[in-house]
Amino acid sequence: MTDRLWVRTVGGLFAGVFAAAAVILYLGISQRELVASLHGVAEEPLFIAAVGGLVLMALQALRWWVVTRPVLDLNYGQALRALMVGFFFNVLLPARGGDLLRVQYLGKRTGISRAKLLGTEIVDFWSDKWGWVAAFPIVCLFGSPPAWLFRALLLIGSIVVGVGILLALMGSGLVRRGPRWLTNLRDGFAANHWKRLLLVETVIAPLPWLWETFVIAIAGHALGLDLSAMQAFAALTAFNVATAVPSPGNAGSFEAGGTLALIAFGIPKEAALAFIFLYHLTQVVPGFVGGVLVLVLEGETLFGKQSLFSFRRPELPVAPEPDPG
């Protein structure tokens, strides 16, 4: 199993690096000009972006927590810590394998059925895409979108409709019989709370997208880029679509998608790639460190094995009681 996981990880990393290399070769990006773009980078916007990345995780955890509330007895802190653990493993594993380990982590700590937790994951995935669709017209108030964003709207809208139909069928009562895991999975869909879920998700789900659009626009000043809200949203959409490449931590695919989106607005290709690379770091490093801290402080074990990050206080030997006789 471990060997297969390593093969998938290396294969995913190769796919991401290949995507980035293909874009670099296709655009004819000069290594010398790329390095020159990294000189004189302003640190303050990148620091703000790093802090903004943590706020983004907090908003994503809020969205997931709202999804889980009808069916799971979780507090917001548990949801946030689980999200950080999942992010940590997403950096290391391909195809967002950390999301499955988030289910494993939370199931182990709470005793909740993993199938039920997986159901909330699927609803959260749907909510995330619903949030993009809801955020799109808001961003359009600040600028005209490029033509390819309408194609992205069609793609993501189709995903929202398709997953929505699946969830509606599961919650309609048509699927009532089956093994225990299927019942738990259906329960995780919060099928009896659709009106509340749609109302709250329409308000909360767009917040991560709108917030990160703002963060990208701020971070652009690190390289002297004055990005509009639409340009930032387009870059955000592009590197999220590029996550279809199953690279650990979206390495390579993130840079490829974001760079293509920015140069479509006339931004110099070397500056675009340099910015997307630096922005990617500001989002990966804080979340990765946060996940490590959660695992260290909680001494977490996964799959029944002691975690490499666990920290336990040494147990002091108990002195024998004196013999009363």
Per-residue pLDDT of the chain (325 residues; tens, 9 = 90+): 467 878 888 899 999 999 999 999 999 999 999 999 998 899 999 999 999 999 999 999 999 898 778 777 889 999 999 999 999 999 999 988 898 888 888 888 888 888 888 888 888 888 899 999 999 999 999 999 999 999 999 999 999 999 888 877 776 666 666 677 677 777 777 655 666 677 777 889 999 999 999 999 999 999 999 999 999 999 999 999 998 899 999 999 999 999 999 999 999 999 999 999 999 999 999 999 999 999 888 875 554 444 444 444 444 444 455 555 4
How far apart are the C-alpha atoms of 77 and 140, rounded to whole Å?
A: 34
323 lies in some domain:
no
- Based on the structure, what is the number of domains in the chain? 1
Cα distance between residue 296 and residue 180, in whole Å = 34
- Does residue 198 fall inside a structural domain? yes
Q: Considering the domain boundaries, does residue 27 fall inside one?
A: no
Establish if 38 belongs to a structural domain: no
306: part of which helix (H) or strand (E)?
Answer: strand 305-306
Q: What is the dihedral of CA 206, 52, 294, 62, to 10 degrees?
A: -20
Amino acid type, 273: L
| Position 96 in a domain | yes
Instruction: Name the strand (E) or helix (H) holding 301.
Output: strand 301-302
State residue 308's pLDDT score: 44
Residue 307 — φ and ψ, nearest 5°?
A: -70, 145
Task: Give pLDDT, residue 49.
Answer: 98
d(CA 245, CA 170): 29
Structural tokens at position 146: 């490029």
Nearest CA among 36, 61, 45 for reference residue 227: 45
Q: What is the domain range of residue 56?
A: 45-304
pLDDT of res. 21:
95
Q: Answer yes or no: is 265 within a domain.
A: yes
> What's the confidence (pLDDT) of residue 193?
65
C-alpha span between 287 and 290 (Å, rounded): 5
Cβ count within 10 A of residue 109: 16
Run of H or E residues at 181: helix 180-188
- Both tokens of residue 163? 């997953």
State the residue for tokens 């959260």. 124
Instruction: Read off the pLDDT of residues 225-260 as tens digits, 9 standing for 90 and up.
Output: 999 999 999 999 999 999 889 999 999 999 999 999
d(CA 46, CA 275): 10
> Looking at the domain assignment, is residue 15 inside a domain?
no
If phi > 0 it is left, if psi is from -120 to 50 it is alpha, else beta; for residue 82 that is: alpha
pLDDT, tens digit, 9 for 90 and up, residues 118-159: 888 888 888 899 999 999 999 999 999 999 999 999 999 999
Of 37, 47, 40, 39, the C-alpha closest to 215 is: 47
pTM of the complete model? 0.88
Largest CA distance in the chain: 92
DSSP code of residue 305: E
Which pLDDT score, from 0 to 100, does residue 202 have? 83
| Residue 242 backbone phi and psi in degrees, to 5 | -70, -15
Whether residue 5 is contained in a domain is answered as no
Cβ–Cβ < 8 Å for 110, 74: yes
201 touches 209 (CB < 8 A): no
The CA distance from 76 to 35, in Å, is: 42
